[in-house]
Structure 1
Amino acid sequence: MSVSRTLLGLLETGSTHGYDLKRAHDELFRSERPLAYGQVYATLARLLKNGLVSVEGSEAGDGPDRKRYNITDAGVTDLDDWLRTPERPAEYLQNTLYTKVLVALMSHRSAGEILDAQRAEHLGAMREYTRRKQTGDLADQLICDHALFHLEADLKWLDITASRLAELAEQPGLADR
């Protein structure tokens, strides 16, 4: 996720303070890890330096003055370009689980146990996303659907791999170790 572009998108709805941007981000995107205030202000400083946002003014508060940020025309253009550029699908050709299966086979450990443990982990995550989807608003339902579809694909891979373990163990390079 691009924090800078996300903040630009939030600013496009109207000028605001960094504190309010952080709150809006965490509320809308409900990440497992909320944005840190330091990350928000560091990102705003970069956007300001690059001419994508401007400071509309500042207000006195209990602590330091609160700057009100506004998106610039260059920021709108940057955001528009980012939104129109398709995302490259994630590469799944080398991931940790695949590596664990091969290492287990090479070291004569049970790759089946690794796959079974991972299947249980995926099913637990699916139950959690399903619960969250049932109680969430539309935005929560959409992100949970995204996660559930990816978990379903992973489960299919786990099943196919489990059915091929004996054949995979006979592959040159694995069988010799």
Structure 2
Amino acid sequence: MSIRHSLLALLERGPRHGYQLRGEFDAATGATWPLNVGQVYSTLDRLERDGLVVQEGEPDADGRIAYRITDDGRSELREWFGSPVGGKGAPRDELAIKLALAVTTPGVDVPRVVQTQRTATMSALQQLTRLKVRAGDDAGDLAWSLVLDSLVFRAEAEIRWLDHCDARVARAALARTAVAAPAAPAAAPAPERGRR
């Protein structure tokens, strides 16, 4: 997630201080990826250093300083919105790592690991579906609705992937069993009776 570009997008709406930016980000995403206010202010410092935002006016009664986006900031924001999000630099997928290590670690009940995750993901999917029903198609909350859609689709994809993993693990176990089982000796043909 690009906090840098998220803050620039929020500042495109007008000058804001860090607490406002954090609140608006949480509102837009349903607090799915909560931001730490320290993270917001350290990002604002870097944006200011890079000439993408500047401080606006004097500190408020609480000592907070508002920031506004610069023309260079708008240019970078347009470039971000105009570019696809690539897989490079994607966060590590803890579940994929966990399963990769589970299948290579002796004594791990891999089907149980898969089933435990499937149960948790199914529960999360049900919660997301209930949230989606409550949110409805309210255009006033389109941002949160789109985030919910993304989370629902990811949960559905994770369940499909877990089903795939379960099938692959079962096939691998069958293949290991077939290789490990000694071949039974061929039975000798029974002598024919009654013929001379």
TM above 0.5, yes or no, is yes
Which of 146, 149, 168 is the matching residue for 2:150?
146
Tell me the TM-score normalised to structure 1 length. 0.82
Q: Contact 2:54 / 2:69 at 8 angstroms: preserved in 1? A: yes
Residue 65 of structure 2 aligns to a residue whose secondary structure is: strand
Q: Does residue 119 in structure 1 map to residue 123 in structure 2?
A: no
* Root mean square deviation, CA, Å: 2.3
Paired position in structure 1 for 2:16: 16
Paired position in structure 1 for 2:187: none
- Higher percent of residues as strand: 1
Equivalences for 1:48-67 in 2 at 5 Å? Answer: 48-61=48-61, 63-64=62-63, 66-67=64-65
Which of 74, 77, 85 is the matching residue for 1:87?
85
Tell me the TM-score normalised to structure 2 length. 0.75
Paired position in structure 2 for 1:25: 25
Q: Does residue 165 in structure 1 map to residue 165 in structure 2?
A: no
Paired position in structure 2 for 1:34: 34
Paired position in structure 1 for 2:183: none
The structure that has the greater radius of gyration is: 2
Question: In structure 2, do the counterparts of structure 1 residues 164 and 38 end up closer, same or farther at CA, with 3 Å as the change threshold?
Answer: closer
List structure 1 segments (4+ residues) > 4 angstroms apart after TM superposition.
none
**Structure 2 residue runs without a partner (length 5+):** 136-140, 181-196
Shift of 1:129: 0.6
Report the identity percentage: 35
Deviates more, 1:143-152 or 1:71-80: 143-152
Residue 54 of structure 2 aligns to a residue whose secondary structure is: strand
Paired position in structure 2 for 1:69: 67
Partner letter of residue 88 of structure 1? G
Q: Contact 2:99 / 2:110 at 8 angstroms: preserved in 1? A: no
Shift of 1:100: 4.3
Partner letter of residue 56 of structure 1? E
Q: Contact 2:102 / 2:108 at 8 angstroms: preserved in 1? A: no
